Chains A and B, each alone.
Chain A
């Protein structure tokens, strides 16, 4: 799961996110970004609150992109730690399929994290092929499509 922001001079930046939690209202999400990697992202969020997040499932390339406004950033609490560690575990499983052993992927830093609270404005299909780039309405459709597999989207 990769999160993109942009600077005041419109230069894009990428950071790997390590967890996504959907709020009850299905309009907001919390995305976790390792604090140590988040410097450029935070600086960019001062210039613009707009973010893009892409997430894909390795074995069938099923891919979505969210567009959102960042509402606020805080230090993630312990309640989110299991989410980040669960992501790392699922991510390691996906990467094992392309030959990267768990002894490497389990060393990926996922904590401490910043929690970015986002209001999702759009969801786009990004699975390669016809329909890539189509807008999904509403957000809950995308969640329904990804239900049960959401936690394994890399």
Chain B
């Protein structure tokens, strides 16, 4: 498992300039490896990723940052061959169900299977109009 994640992480792990995420949603230098930071509503306990300024369940604006579990279960996936220019193709996407009840749409890596376990990593997913790499979080098949 660690070897797969190792392959995904390139050298500039603390360089988030080209990351495709809102705000501080991906913490690269966290202890134990990268982690997604979503939200938790202090009003009703709803969890979310990414974090929004208002809770979709109770409309409270008391939404605080909350780390998401690094491991999840893959609900469904597809290998995509046709997509906008900037993406490196083909690529695999899917919905990952985390243990805290949040579902995350994500890029995927490795030999993934429906209901299989996946773990968070980071990888290059495309190039912007100036040819610079675009990176994002990627869940990889475990094992």
| A and B co-occur in one complex | no
**A interface vs B, CB < 8 Å?**
none
**B interface vs A, CB < 8 Å?**
none
